[in-house]
Amino acid sequence: MQRLNVFQQLVRQWDRLHPYNAAQILHLAGRADMPRLDRAWQDTLSRLGLGTLQCAGRHFAYHTLNGNADEHRLFLLPADTQLEDHVTEELNRPFAGESYLPFRPFVKQENGSFYLGLIYQHWIADSASIRMLLHELLARLIDPASVRSSRLRLPEGGYWRMMGPGKSRWPLLDGFLASVRWSSRFKRVRRIETDDFSDFRVRFSLHRSPPGTIQTARASARDMGCTVNDLFLASIARACNQHVPVQQNRKRQDLALGTIVDLRPHTTEDLSDVFGLFLGFTSVVCRPHDVQDFGKLVQTISDQNTIHKTTGFAQASPIRMLAGLVAGKLLSREGTIEFYRKRVPLAGGISNVNLNHTWPAEYHPDPLIEYIRVSPTGPMMPLVFTTTTLGDDFHFGLTVRESIVPRDKAQAVARAFMERVSIPVG
């Protein structure tokens, strides 16, 4: 059996507070051939060595599917089902059972195209792993010559062996000191003050940008000497400052945002065919006067992210994860929720991916019209942006906790973000 790494342990704790599910969806040209899709799906799981999942304490194992398992067929959505509504329902629906499939595939037929989606339990896999899985599924449909001849590998060791100072080249002492400073800095960050903080139900919405949006964002980032992700974070900070109920007082005036980071490029190990979870996180803190001046806001975010990259802050995430693990083990459900509200008071977050150097670019725009990603919020964030670029197309998913960011506020946040990134800056 495989042993859970530190992030998987933490995410499983979050999953007990509320389902910590994610999704990735292929929007494909043509009409869905359900029998063929079913065969391709089950063959993909079998050939890759994935299937039903069994957990025992800190260990887990996949049991490969054998034969034609009716209970693992793709689910064809009724014609009147809205994609956003289905994803919302699935994000809030837990995976359950002693032995279960941690994937819920679905198909939604449109006029001349269809969505082939996968809801998954996030602690088992990161975005890169799910892309491997969906690539194999799509290859069986349109590109049989590229189908893998071997199983995906499972991780051999935990974060420390694969992402520790020796493999990710980050200084242990600096990582520890940076984490201490990070914790101290959050004492001045605004919190969400609401009686409904323990209500984790989420809602998902998809927002497609007007043509030219990502080109404008790239030009603005280039002119300002920052990354596109820095620009996105600054735009999210402005939107959250306007529409998310983070309470400002004399001691707590700053606003904080989190970023999910793919750690695969930061290790000397070859993880190109490893199915697992290799994520870290960073955060930026924005002072009130910076939020009011967009140029200063971008600069302070860029400066913080530059420091994170040079010091290996994301790779040192396990140091900060340990505090959450301990809290989840020692505290009640209510105590754990309050721990995150007080100790990690994030106003929002981002998971940003540019797919132009990955396999989806080979199939875009035909037959792959778009590649949609969906992120969960977890106990730390009231909302998270899942921004995705493919070709010259840019869109983002927005997942919000409804009790904190109701539907009208969520639309206002999305609108404010889109308007800001669409404005040329330079």
What pLDDT is attached to residue 404? Answer: 96
Which residues, listed in sequence order, are joined to residue 255 by a DSSP beta bridge? 286
The pair of structure tokens assigned to 172 is 């242990």
Q: In the 8-state DSSP scheme, what is residue 112?
A: S
The predicted structure's pLDDT at residue 69: 58
d(CA 347, CA 191): 8
Half-sphere exposure (CA, 13 Å, Cβ side) for 363? 21
Beta bridge partners of 192: 246
CA distance readout (Å), 274 to 46, 63, 378, 408: 16, 17, 25, 41
Task: Indicate the DSSP class of residue 376.
Answer: -
Please tell me the predicted confidence (pLDDT) of residue 176: 72
Residue 181 dihedral angles phi and psi, to the nearest 5°: -65, -40
Report d(CA 402, CA 413) in Å as an integer. 13
pLDDT at res. 313: 85
CB neighbours of 213 closer than 8 A, spacing ≥ 6? Answer: 394, 418, 421, 422
Q: How far is CA 164 from CA 53, 113, 181, 226, 308, in A?
A: 27, 44, 20, 28, 16
* Cα-based distances in Å from 130 to 23, 40, 228: 9, 16, 24
Distance CA 123, CA 76 (A): 25
> Distance between CA atoms of 348 and 291, rounded to whole angstroms?
14
Structural domains of the chain ordered from first start: 2-146 (3.30.559.10), 159-352+372-421 (3.30.559.30)
Residue 71 is predicted with a pLDDT of 61
In angstroms, the CA 230 to CA 209 distance is 18
352, 315 contact by CB (below 8 A) = no
Q: Which residues of the chain fall below pLDDT 70?
A: 66-71, 166-170, 172-173, 426
* Whether 3 contacts 158, CB under 8 Å: yes
Pairing of strands 246-247, 191-192: antiparallel
pTM, entire model: 0.95
